[in-house]
Structure 1
Amino acid sequence: MPGPIDLHTHSSVSDGTETPAELVRAALAAGLGTVALTDHDTTSGWAEAFEEAAGTGLMVVPGMEFSTRREWRSIHLLAYLVDPQDLALREETLRIREARLTRAESIVSRLAADFDISWADVVAQTSDGATVGRPHIADALVARGVAADRSAAFRDILHPKFGYYEPHYAPDPLAAVELVRAAGGVPVLAHPATRGIDDVISRENLGVLVDAGLFGLELRHRENRPDAVARLAEYADHFGLVVTGSSDYHGAGKPNRLGENTTEPEVLARILEAGTGSAAVG
């Protein structure tokens, strides 16, 4: 089915508000031809998405948004077409999910000293087996009437400047790129221009990731800042990286809409050709 290509979405398996099946139906309603399911540090939503998309003509690209960290910076890596049974990747993502859970419990404990919120409130905002994260804490704050919506919770309470934030374990980006490649996947840096020109990755550091197998940069994303995008577009051209565009859709969890940024068909073709760990369906 021809149509726009959106390579970054989330379901309730991580911090989206729709099940994988509901996400597929939303993608069809939005007129997409291809959608990638990229939940945080997990592949557990793939089977449901594949089943829902069967016979519809919609292509579902299996993916994951891999949490990484360099010093204090949180860096996300989109990992397409990995082998979900790859042992090293499974062990590392399990470690990240467990660290996310411990971090979330600690944040809630601190919040409870100042707000009417408990861990049970957070659990009520998650689905079975979901990767628990700060968005679920934000949803609990909304449910308790402490914040107007998820965005307000992040802006007014969960922002690091208010003292409730704490980091969680995540591997270095270089190690993550190597893990994704070893699992047959295709790594693309997610929204790498959100902090602006003064904090964009250096050409030298990007080159190290490229040498390890980095395949592309997600430059068409609503949170990327134009000055940094211009710099990264030059780097992409220099290193021969693909450029992708995506919505980073979270259902009702974010204002991002399916298909608001898209990827060119020839770029998708290159990603599908490069990935050997799993296959797109549809």
Structure 2
Amino acid sequence: MRIDLHSHSDASDGTRPPAEVVRRARENGVDVLALTDHDTVAGWDAATAALPDGLTLVPGIELSCRYEGRSLHMLGYLFDPGEPELAAELARIRDDRVTRARTMVSRLQELGVDVTWEAVRALARGEAVGRPHIARAMVDAGAVRTPDEAFSSRWIGQGGRAYADRYALEPARAIALVRAAGGVCVLAHPRARRRGYLFADAVVEELAAAGLAGVEVDHPDHAAADRARLRDVAAALRLVPTGSSDDHGALTGDRLGAETTAPDAYAALTGMICDRPEGARKAR
């Protein structure tokens, strides 16, 4: 069984509609797929409506968090999106995404880059506008050759000339909100060094004490040595080790199923969900 627990659609910063994401996942031999768009569940219904035979959909999200001033991402699964406190926080995050993106577009314009808010918004078909949309607009404007080039200190990388901060949850609060909504949380790509996501073992231990259920071990941006270490940390803390493609469609080479979660790990993760509140989601 091939299980991919991290993917994106154009409801956030992926390039494929949810219906196409689930179709491509099945064509790639994936049996279980989590749709985890950034700070939104807007793609769930479309993905469910288009679900091909043989594919189980795990409704999820990738939450924007901040730990000691640095960006940290938290994957949430099988929660009730209508839980009032969580829903309010998601709305606040999405609203601030727009404010932040407008600020970065203005700063790019001041730097002489011919990027408009209208162009960025056209690329962000969903409700969760983000830096990848700005990066793609910069490519279209000829300011950079590739989206990756935009994520540098010269442009919109953290601390860059056009970078702007935004509202994000404390990780422990994100875990508490998802758990209160009946779901579980997994720490996303904690050793994606190239992208600046590098969190020490002590951080994982701290989040485990706050109720973290698992840690993403097998990820395309994780080196072999980091995977081995994370697997040891997960075992020591009794966290579920997961594997995921973190596919963003064309932006990441359409790599659904490139990394997978072991069936026993998936069973352990879903087995943690009990006493589900009314309205919480199930894998479909």
Q: TM-score, normalised by structure 1?
A: 0.92
Task: Report the AA paired with residue 144 of structure 2.
Answer: A
Partner of 1:88: 85
Aligned ranges for residues 119-268 of structure 1 at < 5 Å? 119-127=117-125, 129-155=126-152, 157-160=155-158, 162-195=160-193, 199-203=198-202, 205-255=203-253, 257-268=255-266
Aligned mates of 2:47, 2:252 — CA distance in 1: 20
What is the Cα deviation at residue 273 of structure 1?
A: 2.2
Task: Give the match's secondary structure for 1:112.
Answer: helix
Partner of 1:98: 95
Aligned mates of 2:264, 2:231 — CA distance in 1: 17
Task: Report the AA paired with residue 207 of structure 2.
Answer: L
What is the Cα deviation at residue 161 of structure 1?
A: 5.2
Partner of 2:56: 59
Name structure 1 gaps, 5 residues minimum.
none
Q: Answer yes or no: is the 8 Å Cα contact 1:221–1:261 preserved in 2.
A: yes
Name structure 2 gaps, 5 residues minimum.
none
Task: Report the AA paired with residue 105 of structure 2.
Answer: V
Of 41, 62, 76, 2:39 maps to: 41
What is the Cα deviation at residue 216 of structure 1?
A: 0.5
Aligned mates of 1:110, 1:136 — CA distance in 2: 15
Taking only aligned residues, the RMSD between alpha carbons, in angstroms, comes to 2.0
Partner of 2:28: 30
Task: Give the match's secondary structure for 1:25.
Answer: helix
Q: Deviations over 1:110-159 (max 9, x none)?
A: 001221111111111121x4200001101111222222232232246322
Q: Answer yes or no: is the 8 Å Cα contact 1:125–1:136 preserved in 2.
A: yes
Task: Report the AA paired with residue 87 of structure 2.
Answer: R
Distance 1:107-1:28 versus aligned 2 partners, 3 A rule: same
Of 270, 279, 282, 1:279 maps to: 282
Q: Answer yes or no: is the 8 Å Cα contact 1:17–1:253 preserved in 2.
A: yes
Aligned mates of 1:200, 1:43 — CA distance in 2: 26
Task: Report the AA paired with residue 76 of structure 1.
Answer: H
Task: Give the match's secondary structure for 1:178.
Answer: helix
Q: Deviations over 1:49-69 (max 9, x none)?
A: 011015x12101000001110
Aligned mates of 1:36, 1:44 — CA distance in 2: 14
Q: Answer yes or no: is the 8 Å Cα contact 2:113–2:141 preserved in 1.
A: no
Aligned mates of 2:150, 2:253 — CA distance in 1: 14
Q: Deviations over 1:170-225 (max 9, x none)?
A: 111111111111111110000011239x953343x433322322100001011124
Q: TM-score, normalised by structure 2?
A: 0.91
Task: Give the match's secondary structure for 1:124.
Answer: helix
Aligned mates of 1:217, 1:161 — CA distance in 2: 27
What is the Cα deviation at residue 255 of structure 1?
A: 3.3
Task: Report the AA paired with residue 224 of structure 1.
Answer: H
**Identical-residue share of aligned pairs (%):** 44
Q: Answer yes or no: is the 8 Å Cα contact 2:155–2:163 preserved in 1.
A: no
Q: Deviations over 1:214-243 (max 9, x none)?
A: 100001011124444333322211111110
Task: Give the match's secondary structure for 1:17.
Answer: coil
Q: Answer yes or no: is the 8 Å Cα contact 1:247–1:256 preserved in 2.
A: no
Distance 1:230-1:57 versus aligned 2 partners, 3 A rule: closer
Matched length: 276
Task: Report the AA paired with residue 39 of structure 1.
Answer: D
